[in-house]
């Protein structure tokens, strides 16, 4: 897979365009959180993950869980770009009987590992996956992406304790830290800061990165960065709506749908930002 | 009241011995628990396969999620916890991570029903049929004796997909011969009769058989069905019971709302309406008492079931 910054940035730009178009056509989606996560998804699917789109269920594949399942469209666009299915299928997003539901379904979409949508479920499942690899003596790794507001769910902290207890150094949690949840800022809702300190206190190796610097994400995800016997937490500082000026860092774009004018402006901005 | 002459068995013993047999044959089988090594009787499993016993501590949501992740990773997890906490605390994980995701997870609800007796309604699991049977794709089994428990565990180990084993610790006599085959989704006709059908499972099956003997002495012959599988239902057996005997009495260690009786009633009213009576916990939080005391209290002593049967027969056309 390509590892130069320009190629990865270009891939992320194309995924953003696919996401924008799918959300606009469907008239629904969670575009703000999708834009904040797409650079992370690009780093994972086009650099880090050991996966094979022609054999999505290969036993020794790396596992990725999109715990913030409401940003499914970004995952679909990424999977399509990576060759798991045709990008043309993105036009069916949210249409009756489409495989591309508002939240990902492993039974219907190749490359999806588990059905998410209920927040706080991804990390416990990831702990189980990582534990399975340890029991079987397998080398594959497990990655999970959750929202920062999602960390308000207590199940994450049950899983955080277990991951540390089980010494799951094959597990990496990435927190999409865009500081905005559905209706307000985290700070005004239930501030979970300091995230890295909390995970460190739970026995994790924690660090903060720029979640829109793809090479920085790739480096942070590299196996060489793993601290033996400790799970890894990467807090990726991001912006909701990244890449589109009028959406960026705006809480209302959690699940707002662009008008035609806004869609066309967003397209122009994404096409210029090469 | 119970027949004190019978030898009574704690079905957890059959559960763990058959789980260990299955784990010997299939290295993918792992046990997951919530600090419940003792109450789930997993000490022997842990001793034999310490690396395959995943104790997440007191954290049921994580426990079920971990089970789903282990299944994704190629393992066959038997997730063991007191049924009240397994199904109540982790219901959303059971729905999304196990049922909806079609994960190969075996949920083992230990000490279900009112097995914890005097510990009270926080520890009673008389809602678990209702909560789980509305979820598509989970096979729900409440075995009636050690032989059926063994068969259910063997089935769960070999079947690919979610299973909920609802197990009790309350002593029950052996009802089946050692070689009795367990067939999921099929009820066993334990006794035939034409006046009514009594359908039960779990700890109520032997009480239903006892009641049928009392009814027979009164000249009323009851068919008795052991319906261990609550989902999917044995629709044919229910329709045949309604058609052949014209009345159905159900007995369960569960609320009368949403459990075995409700599931049977859904079939009866739509396919072959006949008079029914549903015995169970009557929509209340149970008072203090042992499981056997409470079952008697709620009209499910053999004599109580007999009386309900006699009343039901009077309602036949």
Q: Which of A114, A138, A154 sits opposite B97 (nearest CB)?
A: A114
Nearest C-alpha in A relative to B51 = A135
Q: Where are the domains of chain A?
A: 5-272
* High-pLDDT (> 90) share of chain B, %: 97
User: Average pLDDT, whole number, for chain B?
Assistant: 96
Chain centre distance of CA A45: 10
C-beta atoms of A125 and B66 within 8 A:
yes
Q: Would you say how long chain B is, in residues?
A: 317
Query: What is the predicted pLDDT for the residue at A2?
Result: 62
C-beta atoms of B92 and A106 within 8 A:
no
The 10s digit of each residue's pLDDT in B255-272 is 999 999 999 999 999 999
H or E element: which one contains A7? Answer: helix A5-26
User: Which CATH number does the domain B11-166 belong to among 3.40.50.2000, 3.40.50.970, 3.40.50.150, 3.50.50.60?
Assistant: 3.40.50.970
Query: What is the predicted pLDDT for the residue at B1?
Result: 38
The 10s digit of each residue's pLDDT in B213-241 is 999 999 999 999 999 999 999 999 999 99
Query: What is the predicted pLDDT for the residue at B6?
Result: 81
Q: Where are the domains of chain B?
A: 11-166, 188-314
> Which chain B residues have a beta carbon less than 8 Å from that of A162?
56-57, 59, 62, 66
Query: What is the predicted pLDDT for the residue at B5?
Result: 64
Q: State how far residue A266 is from chain B, nearest Cα, in angstroms.
A: 35
Alpha-helix residue ranges (DSSP H) falling in A172-221: 186-189, 195-201, 214-221
> Which chain A residues have a beta carbon less than 8 Å from that of B67?
128
C-beta atoms of A165 and B57 within 8 A:
yes
Query: What is the predicted pLDDT for the residue at B2?
Result: 45
Nearest C-alpha in B relative to A121 = B65
Query: What is the predicted pLDDT for the residue at B187?
Result: 98
Chain centre distance of CA B309: 22
Strand partners, A239: none
The 10s digit of each residue's pLDDT in B145-191 is 999 999 999 999 999 999 999 999 999 999 999 989 999 999 999 99
Query: What is the predicted pLDDT for the residue at A183?
Result: 87
> Which chain A residues have a beta carbon less than 8 Å from that of B101?
106-107, 114-115
> B11-166 and B188-314 share one CATH topology?
yes
CA pair distance A29, A16, nearest whole angstrom: 13
Q: State how far residue A202 is from chain B, nearest Cα, in angstroms.
A: 15
> Which chain A residues have a beta carbon less than 8 Å from that of B93?
121, 124, 155
**Residue whose entry in the numeric block shows the structure tokens 């070999």:** B158
Query: What is the predicted pLDDT for the residue at B79?
Result: 98
- Give the Cα-Cα-Cα angle A96, A99, A100 (nearest 5 degrees): 85
In this structure, the number of other CB atoms found within 10 A of the CB of residue A152 comes to 17
User: Which CATH number does the domain B188-314 belong to among 3.40.1050.10, 3.40.50.11060, 3.65.10.10, 3.40.50.920?
Assistant: 3.40.50.920
Q: With bands split at pLDDT 50, 70 and 90, how would you rate the model's confidence at B67? A: very high
Q: Which of B51, B71, B73 sits opposite A133 (nearest CB)?
A: B73
**What architecture is domain A5-272?**
3-Layer(aba) Sandwich (3.40)
Tell me the CA distances in angstroms from A24 to A64, A95, A260, A264, B32, one per residue in order: 26, 13, 8, 10, 44
The 10s digit of each residue's pLDDT in B85-129 is 999 999 999 999 999 999 999 999 999 999 999 999 999 999 999
Write out chain A's pLDDT in tens, 274 residues. 667 889 999 999 999 999 999 999 999 999 999 999 999 999 999 999 999 999 999 999 999 999 999 999 999 999 999 999 999 999 999 999 999 999 999 999 999 999 999 999 999 999 999 999 999 999 999 999 999 999 999 999 999 999 999 999 999 999 999 999 998 999 999 999 999 999 999 999 999 999 999 999 999 999 999 999 999 999 999 999 999 999 999 999 988 999 999 999 999 999 986 5
Q: State how far residue B64 is from chain A, nearest Cα, in angstroms.
A: 8
C-beta atoms of A107 and B101 within 8 A:
yes
Determine whether B287 is exposed, middle or buried from the number of CB atoms within 10 Å of its CB (0-12, 13-18, 19+). exposed
Q: Find out whether A173 and A141 touch, Cβ atoms under 8 Å.
A: no
- Mutation target vs B (from A112, A113, A125, A162; most B CBs, 10 A cutoff): A125
Shortest CA distance to A134 belongs to which of B309, B107, B213, B73? Answer: B73
SS (H, E, C) chain B: CCCCCCCCECHHHHHHHHHHHHHHHCCCEEEEECCCCCCCCCHHHHHHCHHHEEECCCCHHHHHHHHHHHHHCCCEEEEEEEHHHHHHHCHHHHHHHHHHCCCCCEEEEECCECCCHHHCCCCCECCHHHHHHCCCCCEEECCCCHHHHHHHHHHHHHCCCCEEEECCCCCECCCCCCCCCCCCCCCEEEECCCCEEEEECHHHHHHHHHHHHHHHHCCCCEEEEECCEEECCCHHHHHHHHHHHCCEEEEEEEECCCCHHHHHHHHHHHHCCCCEEEEEECCCCCCCCCHHHHHHHHHHCHHHHHHHHHHHHHCCC
Nearest C-alpha in A relative to B58 = A158
Q: Find out whether A139 and A146 touch, Cβ atoms under 8 Å.
A: no
Average pLDDT, integer, range B29-57? 96
């Amino acid at each position: 897979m390509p590892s130069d910054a320009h190629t990865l940035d270009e891939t992320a730009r194309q995924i953003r365009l696919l996401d924008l178009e799918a959300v606009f056509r469907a008239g629904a989606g969670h575009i703000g959180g999708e834009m904040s996560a797409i650079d992370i998804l690009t780093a994972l699917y086009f650099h880090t993950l050991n996966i094979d789109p022609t054999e999505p269920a290969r036993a020794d594949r790396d596992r990725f869980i999109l715990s913030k399942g409401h940003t499914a469209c970004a995952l679909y666009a990424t999977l399509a770009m990576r060759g798991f299915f045709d990008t043309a299928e993105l036009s069916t997003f949210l249409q009756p009987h489409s495989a591309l539901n508002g939240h990902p379904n492993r039974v219907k979409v190749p490359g999806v590992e588990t059905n998410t949508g209920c927040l706080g479920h991804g990390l416990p499942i990831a702990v189980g996956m990582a534990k399975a690899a340890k029991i079987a003596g397998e080398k594959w790794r497990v990655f999970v992406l959750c929202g920062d507001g999602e960390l308000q769910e207590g199940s994450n902290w049950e899983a955080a304790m277990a991951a540390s207890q089980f010494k799951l150094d094959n597990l990496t949690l990435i927190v999409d830290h865009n500081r905005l949840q559905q209706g307000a800022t985290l700070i005004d809702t239930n501030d979970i800061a300091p995230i890295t300190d909390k995970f460190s206190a739970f026995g994790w190796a924690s660090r903060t990165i720029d979640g829109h610097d793809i090479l920085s994400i790739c480096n942070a995800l590299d196996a060489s960065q793993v601290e033996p016997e400790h799970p890894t937490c990467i807090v990726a500082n991001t912006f909701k709506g990244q890449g589109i000026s009028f959406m960026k860092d705006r809480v209302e774009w959690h699940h707002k749908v662009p008008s035609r004018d806004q869609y066309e402006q967003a397209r122009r901005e994404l096409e210029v930002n090469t | 009241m119970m027949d004190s002459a019978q030898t009574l068995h704690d079905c957890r013993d059959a559960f763990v011995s058959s789980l260990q047999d299955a784990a010997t044959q299939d290295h993918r089988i792992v046990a997951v628990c919530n600090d419940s090594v003792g109450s789930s009787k997993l000490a022997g499993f842990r001793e034999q396969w310490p690396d395959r016993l995943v104790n997440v501590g007191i954290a049921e949501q994580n426990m079920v999620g971990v089970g789903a992740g282990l299944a994704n990773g190629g393992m066959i997890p038997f997730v063991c916890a007191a049924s009240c906490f397994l199904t109540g605390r982790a219901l959303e994980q059971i729905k999304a991570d196990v049922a909806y995701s079609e994960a190969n997870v075996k949920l083992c609800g230990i000490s279900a029903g009112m097995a914890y007796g005097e510990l009270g309604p926080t520890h009673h699991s008389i809602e678990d049929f209702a909560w789980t049977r509305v979820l598509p794709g989970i096979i729900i089994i409440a075995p009636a004796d050690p032989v059926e428990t063994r068969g259910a565990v063997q089935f769960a180990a070999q079947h690919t997909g979610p299973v909920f084993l609802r197990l009790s610790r309350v002593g029950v006599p052996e009802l089946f011969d050692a070689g009795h085959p367990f067939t999921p989704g099929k009820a066993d006709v334990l006794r035939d009769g034409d006046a009514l059908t009594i359908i039960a499972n779990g700890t109520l099956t032997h009480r239903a058989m006892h009641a049928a003997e009392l009814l027979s002495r009164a000249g009323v012959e009851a068919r008795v069905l052991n319906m261990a599988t609550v989902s999917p239902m044995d629709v044919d057996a229910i329709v045949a019971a309604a058609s052949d005997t014209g009345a159905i009495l159900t007995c369960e260690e569960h609320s009368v709302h949403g459990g075995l009786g409700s599931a049977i009633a859904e079939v009866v009213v739509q396919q072959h309406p006949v008079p029914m009576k549903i015995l169970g916990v009557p929509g209340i939080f149970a008072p203090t008492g042992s499981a056997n005391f409470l079952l008697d209290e709620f009209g499910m002593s053999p004599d109580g079931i007999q009386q309900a049967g006699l009343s039901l027969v009077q309602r036949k056309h």
